[in-house]
Structure 1
Amino acid sequence: MSDSTVEDFLKSYNPEVRQLVLKTRAVVLAVIPDAIEQVDSPSKIIAYGFGLKYADLICAIAPYKSYVNLIFSQAAQLPDPRGLLTGTGKRARHVKIKTATDIESPGVRSLLEAAVASMTH
């Protein structure tokens, strides 16, 4: 995905949220460098997976007015010893990212690594 497509998607968000999205995106792509990145404007997310179908989805970034959710599509089965995941979905859960420090948490990287491992086994 080109940076310009992501930048276009983020134009309607305030600078702080844009920076949180870009920081979150950098961490996601560092952990999953071969992920396919898709901007889904109607759903207001940037999705990452090993294919284009929902079954291939690893995670997604969902910007809001003052924070970003990092959504894990199969989080109910992921180990979460730090208790970062929130939500009550049957499968999906999210980590709320309010500051750049939140995305730098080792727990977030561990969740991303576990999500990738669960997709490749």
Structure 2
Amino acid sequence: MGDVDKILEKGGALTRQVHELLLELFPDAVLTADDENIGYGTTTGYKGLKFTVAPFSGYVRLGIAGGAALDDPANLMQGTGKVHRHLKVRSAGQLADPALRDLLAAALE
């Protein structure tokens, strides 16, 4: 089992900003971590998973569980999986985008 604080430290400011946005929108999130990803869910384990955050060089991958079923008129999400999608957050400015906030809110419904 990983450590959320270690992942946030490793990921730097942008990872922390994505984390803070998710907690703003999902204050009751149950946090889990493996070596490189933070999970945000309604409970521990895969069934309750809503989001994942994984820092990479140059961006933070924000995973949206069930994203394939969500309306994404701004075409923010990437991926071809049958269930999940993700997006690459490359700057803090993306986090203020109303389309992103709407997408994340829809994922919580």
Normalising by the residue count of structure 1, what TM-score does the alignment of the two structures yield?
Answer: 0.82
Offset, 1:97: 0.2
Instruction: Among all aligned residue pairs of Structure 1 and Structure 2, give the percentage whose two residues are the same amino acid.
Output: 35
Offset, 1:39: 1.8
**1:31-110 paired onto structure 2 within 5 Å:** 31-41=25-35, 44-110=36-102
Q: Deviations over 1:25-46 (max 9, x none)?
A: 11100000001011211xx111
Instruction: List alignment gaps of at least 5 residues for structure 2.
Output: none
Offset, 1:10: 3.7
Q: Deviations over 1:23-71 (max 9, x none)?
A: 0011100000001011211xx1110000112111001101111100110
Q: Does 1:18 align with 2:16?
A: no
Instruction: List alignment gaps of at least 5 residues for structure 1.
Output: none
Number of aligned residue pairs: give it.
107
RMSD of equivalent CA atoms = 1.3
Q: Deviations over 1:56-114 (max 9, x none)?
A: 10011011111001100100001111110111111111111000011221112111111
Rounded to whole Å, the distance in 2 between the matches of 1:97 and 1:108 is 10
Runs of 4+ in 1 over 6 A off after TM superposition: none
Normalising by the residue count of structure 2, what TM-score does the alignment of the two structures yield?
Answer: 0.91
